[in-house]
């Protein structure tokens, strides 16, 4: 994959993640602490707590994705984007088009997920 296309894909991911994170952060801020919102209805409080927990988890996941964007940008700068971080094998362009932040080939990713991080 050429560097221009790699930059486009990763920049698109950065924009998507930052926009989603900004939306969630705004939602978390607008909702405020559940302790301030208690109305006395236990069912509503539990539902709100579940929703807030999901929102916080989604925001944490987006922050992790933003870190992955940074790693991809670093690989572009180093000229190693499109190469597996484990073996150096070429990651197919089709995979990078579908998953611009991919760090491994499909098979290496499968093995990584099975064994966990080193």
Q: How far apart are CA 101 and CA 81, in angstroms?
A: 9
CATH number at residue 70: 1.20.120.910
pTM, 2 dp = 0.77
CB 5 within 8 A of CB 78: no
30-54 pLDDT, tens digit per residue, is 555 444 455 555 555 455 555 667 8
DSSP 10-32: HHHHHHHHHHHHHHHHHHHHHH-
- Report, in angstroms and rounded to the nearest whole number, the Rg of the chain calculated over CA atoms: 19
pLDDT, residue 53, reads: 77
Q: What is the pLDDT of residues 73-93, one digit of tens each?
A: 999 999 999 999 999 999 999
Q: What SS3 state is found at 79?
A: coil
CB 23 within 8 A of CB 118: no
Q: What is the extent of the structural domain holding 26?
A: 3-115
Percentage with pLDDT > 90 across the chain = 67
The residues, any chain, with a CB within 8 Å of residue 34's CB and separated by 6 or more, are 45, 48, 49, 52
Number of structural domains found in the chain: 1
């Amino acid at each position: 994959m050429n560097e221009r296309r790699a930059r486009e894909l990763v920049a698109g991911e950065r924009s998507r993640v930052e926009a989603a994170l900004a939306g969630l952060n705004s939602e978390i801020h607008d909702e405020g602490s559940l302790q301030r919102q208690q109305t006395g209805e236990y069912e509503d409080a539990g539902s709100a707590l579940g929703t807030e927990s999901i929102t916080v988890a989604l925001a944490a996941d987006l922050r992790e994705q933003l870190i992955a964007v940074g790693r991809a940008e670093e690989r572009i700068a180093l000229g190693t984007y499109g190469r597996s971080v484990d073996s150096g094998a070429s990651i197919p362009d089709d995979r990078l088009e579908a998953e611009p932040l991919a760090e491994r080939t499909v098979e290496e990713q499968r093995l990584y997920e099975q064994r966990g991080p080193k």
